[in-house]
Structure 1
């Protein structure tokens, strides 16, 4: 049903070409991104179907982050560094709060108590805590040496990329055995996945289309946010972060309803980890190549929100079991944070960012 929104893609491009009101262009672009992200997610799952839970989950979490990277690079090319950083925060919150929360709700309503692999929970929790440091350290460092944040961010980005490569290696070499086949998975086996070449072609076409729509979205974001009285931080966190993370949310809910909780963790927690280890440093280097300001110095409220999201998600799943009520708590936490960001003034100046 969501794929009907694909008609918004040519409409958004045409509206931008004919210089229609920026708010209309922004709304059409935002609507067009949703089905494009879903198309990329479906193609990714087709590729991952033959690779098992470990590699399949790794592929899903990696390629499901492609929309955030594409949107971020295009937005950076338009000089929207503060919005890009806010969208990173938003994607992390969406993965841990909305994606995991909805998965717990839908999975819990269908299967009752859901059980997770405690080993994977410990590994994922440890990785999330390490990821927090890449946000906390620049924020603290900026207090004493504001001018050195860019250089520090580049050095941290190199370390994050090294950790990402090592994490992929360990995941592939020592991947744990997946869950037993459920009736839902048996139905999936009766419907074999598409050929690899077809899935790759769909991924490539959707990525190009997403880049085109992201361009119209970035051009119309500033005027639209100004007209609606929205700050850069709120626009990035709630609007771009929410739309960019729709792929992970849909995948997490799909896996939860088919009784595969380990893949739920791979897509939500794993995607969050790779957002920090891969997407964030690539955007830092992308900003360097594009000559645009991009670092890992986030506002204090963004850092606090990310830390709280990680701690709450860890607390609710640390015993290896979860139910639908815990999913509601995660959704409620996101709603509280979104209200907080909406009521904050524009924090661009507070972050030390100069708008182009």
Structure 2
């Protein structure tokens, strides 16, 4: 472990000055101490190339007569003088030794997964509306220090949080992309990309094509989210919100368009509804369940949850109207042309509602979604981020094309309803990493962030992805309407109502989570057992 000597001297000087240990004792305890400060970049430190280091021990800082965020560590060559054996000295050295243990290699056996979790939390903070990422950023630096060595982090600040100019910077971009690629064990699935593409191009077994391309989409979705977040940080809240709206569900959008081109209207409709159901029932339920197993009761903001639920109700109404109008009034009154025109009008209105929601979230009522201001800087250069995002998007499009092309063959071979593949299987590809991280943050009692992810992702699908798919079909000349299967729409409405009732009071427990999960399993069982769809959703 490469812990810089400057860090060791700083903590020794700090602890010695606050406890009265002289230079001999300080030098003798160098091997037992590490930095009591967590690196943090400021405008001045970025300009000078050094890190400011705020104190992490408020009690010790108060006794020393300085604020926890202040500086003022004595240089290593100016050790303070004082008594050796005071209780205060022993307490400070114990505090220093405890921080050394946090940087030991055996505590970082799972450092890759820790880093991945932190990267994902950073993305989730914006997706869920919580933009207070200071603590996450500091933990990210600390994890890097434990994984790469403090000296490595200090010498390569571009890997962490340093601001890059908007020009091509191959060296630092390559290091940052390399860090993203090794930051999660899930990225091992990137090896499925060449196999899946080759299998699809050469016409190998449809089952192999489906499985390989499905697995390839899981890490690609993770990399897309991190790159999108990097661009969102650069452009600010407004443009960043639009970027997250566009690329936050890009895997679902590309899958839907690829299936739409092949005429798989039922798969398109069920995959979009399935994404909402998995967020509202499965993910939210797992957050409540695992968080409730650790904490008897967890609290979160009921007002933000109320806003999200009302938006989902609006989306449900927009889907119910064309679905039920034709069945109530008959095809003579509600002709196919009328349903198509009605769907286009509703899609435009739903997207308008979504952009109004972005204004509400990011501008007029941002205090409901943010707990404080944060300082964050992009890790990639602008050119590097755009190039990496474009490359990933192209690969996602290719994998999605082969995946959707194998759906019918897999459905026939294993006698599985295509609606089940769309409702249950396909949403996993685009949301698996995010869902896992949402459960982890709920286990850490960060319920506002976890619920923001589940409800926020549902809003993006309902008010952006579904209308976008309808309008994309209009442009492509492939008609896709909001005339969905009645049972699917009914289950969507039930899920929205149930999710609202279990979270309306701003508290949760494990039993509420279990109810949501059981509801999701019951819905999945219906689609699994149904062999022939009764209605071809969305197609005319």
| Smaller-chain TM-score bracket | 0.7 to 0.9
What's the offset of the Cα at 1:22? 0.8
User: Which runs of 5 or more residues in structure 1 are unaligned?
Assistant: none
What's the offset of the Cα at 1:28? 0.9
User: Which runs of 5 or more residues in structure 2 are unaligned?
Assistant: 1-184
What's the offset of the Cα at 1:201? 4.2
Partner of 1:162: 352
Contact 2:245 2:464 in 1 (8 A): no
Contact 1:47 1:199 in 2 (8 A): yes
- Answer yes or no: is 1:14 the counterpart of 2:205: no
Partner of 1:3: 187
Q: TM-score, normalised by structure 2?
A: 0.59
Change over 3 Å in CA distance of 1:204–1:267 after alignment to 2: farther
What's the offset of the Cα at 1:91? 0.5
Structure 1 or 2, whichever has the larger Rg, is: 2
- Answer yes or no: is 1:195 the counterpart of 2:380: yes
Farther-moved stretch of structure 1 (199-208 vs 146-155): 199-208
Partner of 1:231: 417
Change over 3 Å in CA distance of 1:325–1:53 after alignment to 2: farther
What's the offset of the Cα at 1:56? 7.9
Partner of 2:268: 84
Instruction: Give the Cα–Cα distance (whole angstroms) in 2 for the partners of residues 127 and 352 of structure 1.
Output: 22
Q: TM-score, normalised by structure 1?
A: 0.87
- Equivalent pairs counted in the alignment come to 347
Structural RMSD (CA)? 2.8
Farther-moved stretch of structure 1 (12-21 vs 259-268): 259-268
Farther-moved stretch of structure 1 (237-246 vs 200-209): 200-209
What's the offset of the Cα at 1:45? 4.6
Q: For 1:16-63, what per-residue CA distance to the aligned partner results, in whole angstroms no more than 9, with x for missing partners?
A: 122111111111111111111122233345556789999988865663
Contact 2:257 2:469 in 1 (8 A): yes
- Answer yes or no: is 1:175 the counterpart of 2:366: yes
Q: For 1:115-164, what per-residue CA distance to the aligned partner results, in whole angstroms no more than 9, with x for missing partners?
A: 11121022112111111101211111121225222111001011111111
Change over 3 Å in CA distance of 1:352–1:7 after alignment to 2: closer
Instruction: Give the Cα–Cα distance (whole angstroms) in 1 for the partners of residues 381 and 509 of structure 2.
Output: 36
Alignment counterpart, residue 151 of structure 1, candidates 341, 349, 359: 341
What's the offset of the Cα at 1:327? 1.9
Alignment counterpart, residue 136 of structure 1, candidates 298, 312, 320: 320
Instruction: Give the Cα–Cα distance (whole angstroms) in 1 for the partners of residues 186 and 349 of structure 2.
Output: 39
Alignment counterpart, residue 335 of structure 1, candidates 521, 528, 537: 521
Partner of 2:448: 262
Farther-moved stretch of structure 1 (56-65 vs 209-218): 56-65
Q: For 1:57-110, what per-residue CA distance to the aligned partner results, in whole angstroms no more than 9, with x for missing partners?
A: 886566332211111112212222221111111111111112212222333344
Change over 3 Å in CA distance of 1:241–1:157 after alignment to 2: same
Change over 3 Å in CA distance of 1:60–1:97 after alignment to 2: farther
**SS of residue paired to 2:483:** coil
**SS of residue paired to 2:455:** helix
Q: For 1:175-219, what per-residue CA distance to the aligned partner results, in whole angstroms no more than 9, with x for missing partners?
A: 0163479xxx9xxx9x97623635554433322211110011011
Partner of 2:509: 323
Instruction: Give the Cα–Cα distance (whole angstroms) in 1 for the partners of residues 361 and 508 of structure 2.
Output: 24
